[in-house]
């Protein structure tokens, strides 16, 4: 995805510890087919949210 140089997610785990992961460092990936020429950056998160929520609930 050429829209971002990095995509770091910060979250709090069940024990209250702050955790991070970078989707562009090969640690985690969510692959979706989108038409980058017609979508706005602010619309990207709602598109990945279902897959992202599933990933978070599985860790």
Is 41 within a domain? yes
Is 16 within a domain? yes
Give pLDDT, residue 50: 92
Q: pLDDT digits over 22-55, tens only?
A: 877 655 677 888 888 888 888 888 988 998 888 8
How many CB atoms are located within 10 Å of the residue 48 CB?
A: 16
Is 3 within a domain? no
Q: Is the pTM of this model over 0.75?
A: no
Q: How many domains is the chain built from?
A: 1
pLDDT bucket at 20, cuts 50 / 70 / 90: confident
Q: Which domain holds residue 44?
A: 8-58
Average pLDDT, integer, range 6-16: 87
pLDDT value at 16 more than 60 = yes
């Amino acid at each position: 995805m050429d829209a971002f140089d990095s995509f770091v997610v910060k979250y709090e785990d069940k024990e209250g510890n702050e955790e991070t992961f970078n989707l562009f460092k090969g640690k985690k990936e969510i692959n979706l087919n989108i038409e980058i020429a017609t979508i706005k950056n602010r619309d990207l998160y709602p598109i990945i949210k279902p897959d992202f929520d599933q990933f978070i609930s599985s860790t």
